[in-house]
A and B are shown apart, each in its own frame.
Chain A
């Protein structure tokens, strides 16, 4: 799998996939829908799938001495590496906001969703949606990127709206905790977000392997 990941990163990936990872730092922007940062990260990954099609990467990979399902696994692994790197940056940004900048007035008076562990959990859900809708959709044909990306985009913005609004529901104010307030709840929410990500990704991977197996290249 190391060789396949290396091929993904060296030959198939668009440089934009790497350049868009720092969009995780949008978690530092006050009064801004921080989850758009997660969307931009996926937009960067989308460029690699465009590259995949333009460089004949799928057929090239199918000619290598690897199983067909390993091609799919390689793509998912690459996507998860980029998403994981972005999640680390988001986590760093959240920790900075929780600690060094805990007393920064601009964050205390933040009018939109706070960048906390719940926000990272939501970012994981967005990444899970991307993997399930876009990456899974791509492997239905192994060349169409437009339709799956449009479906993903149409789905992700309502999801961001829901994540931004949920704190206004009575009793759920805790999701917008600032600093280290309600830290246990925040950590539990993060674990839930990661669990949703894993379920969406692994389920999608399973179906993608099956769909890709049926395709004539």
Chain B
């Protein structure tokens, strides 16, 4: 197990994350699915030590996150599809600053990803479309040889072609032995490339299992994962 999230709890005035537990394995893609407001971003923030949890623990590489934050962050990569950093700074300046924090920075990989994603380094994030911003974040996250990638809604705002390219990139990373964890509310992304499904509903993990097991356990015959999740979520909504 490359990462283990055990019993994370976090209470806000209008929302509560309850006993969130799941594990991530090397060389696998885990899709973290849930509707808006289900607790995906809160969980991701807990995994990045951006929030203080009321209970539970997060471990990467067998090390507790709180005591080994620096080492763990060198070995993990993060990208968000919803936040843009330094919108008026040139991409080359952002990258030049970021790379100095990582001994593991791979300039060749960075060049490869900027080329693959067609990123013009002389542009600023404000000059990029939403999809290109995601690609910029991803290029930065992928260039320091992260062993696990935590991606918060990386496909949001991407056109179908770019999304397909991105999912293909996930598969390549997986083949290289990295673990990919991405949150999304787009079910087709999960169907296309996830090995594991972690389904969160109303702040609770409703399922965390391999995709095949998920289908066996929850899907009716002939039912797609999308239909299954919509049915489950409908049921949760009617509770």
Contact = CB atoms under 8 A, between A and B. Distances in A.
Residues of A contacting B: mostly: helix
Contact of B93 (A3, A10, A54, A63): A10
Interface in B1-56: 45, 48-52
Interface of A: 3, 6-7, 10-12, 54-57, 59-60, 62-68, 214, 216-217
Given A59-B83, A63-B73, A216 B98 contact: no
B73 A214 contact: no
B97 A216 contact: no
Nearest to B102: A65
Contact of B45 (A11, A57, A217): A217
A139 to B, nearest CB: 16
A60 B49 CA distance: 13
B70 A7 contact: no
A57 B101 CA distance: 15
Contact of B73 (A3, A57, A65): A65
Contacts, number: 63
Interface stretch (B84-92, B167-175, B218-226): B84-92
A217 B83 CA distance: 13
A216 to B, nearest CB: 4
B238 to A, nearest CB: 32
B139 to A, nearest CB: 15
Interface residues of B, number: 27
A65 B94 contact: no
Q: Which 5 pairs show the lowest CB-CB distances between chains A and B?
A: A65-B73, A216-B51, A217-B50, A65-B74, A3-B100
Contacts of B83: 56, 59
Interface centre among A10, A59, A65, A217 (most CB of B within 10 A): A65
A62 B83 CA distance: 14
A12 B88 CA distance: 10
Contacts of B101: 3, 64-66
Given A10-B93, A11-B97, A57-B86, A64 B52 contact: no
B127 interface: no
Given A11-B97, A63-B78, A216-B50, A55 B70 contact: no
A86 B122 CA distance: 32
Given A59-B50, A216-B50, A66 B70 contact: yes
Contacts of B118: none
